[in-house]
């Protein structure tokens, strides 16, 4: 769920907004270097350069769907054709000036908190430097193949299960989640109530690689992700320091 773009199947991520006191990660993980720390060294970087940390930008953009399949982005810090193309596509998608460089506006956009669901567009797998070979979606989209809860499953249950070493204050979380699903219940044929460990929807806070193939990235950027029906997992990044209850300002 990118900034200002919503995947309808995961809207509960926007409805459940939490206070900082709700989550405590124990024990703390050793500090790591994140993209936001690297941007001061990457400002105005462009094709042809080799700068430490560019491979992390590549990994981030690949996770969001901006790289063709099969392109290795693990360790190479070269600002190559693929990175320039990925940045151009990102800039075009977010209506930025399409330069192919990591300019200040692009860095600011990349630094925003967002859902980990990739941005929705059709990327030509032979794409190199021609960002025109991208078909953009409208401002919202369903998951591929439009998965839904079956008509026989309208009374859904949810439960809470967070990662090891993460303390969650359920006394505070429960009424917030209940309020969020009440809003869904008012405008849909679905009902929601808290259930047991076999619930349809499983809500939890996790850190880094937590076994679902979509590792979190620490403070900043990706703050949550959800899986389509009938999977039902809704995961929040426990490393985020600014969870709060209320509208975003």
Annotated binding residues, written as ranges, equal 115, 210, 212, 217-218, 225, 235, 237, 240
- Helix 81-93 crosses helix 54-63 at what angle (to 10 degrees)? 50
Cα–Cα dist 61/90, whole Å: 8
Cβ pair 22, 169 in contact under 8 A: yes
CB half-sphere exposure, 118, CA atoms < 13 A: 17
Spacing of C-alpha 173 from chain mean position: 21
**Annotated binding site for Ca(2+): which residue ranges?**
217-218, 237, 240
Would you call the peptide bond into 230 cis, given omega within 30 degrees of 0 as the criterion? yes
Phi, psi of 6, rounded to the nearest 5 degrees: -125, 130
Residue 14: which H helix or E strand, with range? helix 12-15
**Annotated binding site for Zn(2+): which residue ranges?**
115, 210, 212, 225, 235
Tokens (6 digits) for 174: 């429960």
Phi-psi region of 132 (alpha: psi -120 to 50; beta: other; left: phi over 0): alpha
């Amino acid at each position: 769920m990118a900034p200002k773009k919503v995947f309808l199947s995961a809207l509960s991520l926007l409805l459940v907004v939490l206070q900082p006191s709700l989550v405590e990660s124990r024990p703390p993980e050793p500090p790591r270097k994140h993209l936001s720390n690297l941007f001061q060294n990457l400002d105005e970087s462009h094709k042809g350069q080799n700068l430490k940390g560019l491979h992390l930008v590549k990994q981030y953009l690949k996770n969001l769907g901006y790289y063709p399949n099969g392109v290795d982005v693990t360790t190479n810090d070269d600002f190559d054709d693929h990175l320039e193309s990925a940045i151009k596509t990102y800039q075009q998608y977010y209506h930025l000036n399409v330069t192919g460089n990591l300019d200040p506006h692009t860095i600011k956009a990349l630094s925003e908190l967002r859902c980990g669901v990739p941005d929705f567009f059709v990327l030509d797998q032979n794409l190199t430097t021609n960002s025109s070979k991208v078909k953009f979606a409208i401002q919202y989209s369903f998951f591929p193949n439009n998965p839904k809860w079956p008509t026989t499953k309208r009374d859904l249950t949810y439960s809470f299960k967070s990662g090891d070493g993460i303390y969650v204050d359920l006394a505070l979380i429960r009424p917030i989640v209940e309020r969020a699903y009440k809003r869904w219940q008012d405008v849909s044929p679905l009902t929601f109530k808290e259930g047991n460990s076999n619930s349809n929807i499983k809500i939890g806070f996790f850190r880094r690689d937590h076994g679902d193939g979509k590792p979190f990235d620490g403070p900043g950027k990706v703050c949550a992700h959800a899986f389509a029906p009938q999977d039902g997992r809704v995961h929040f990044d426990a490393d985020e320091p600014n969870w709060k209850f209320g509208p975003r300002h």
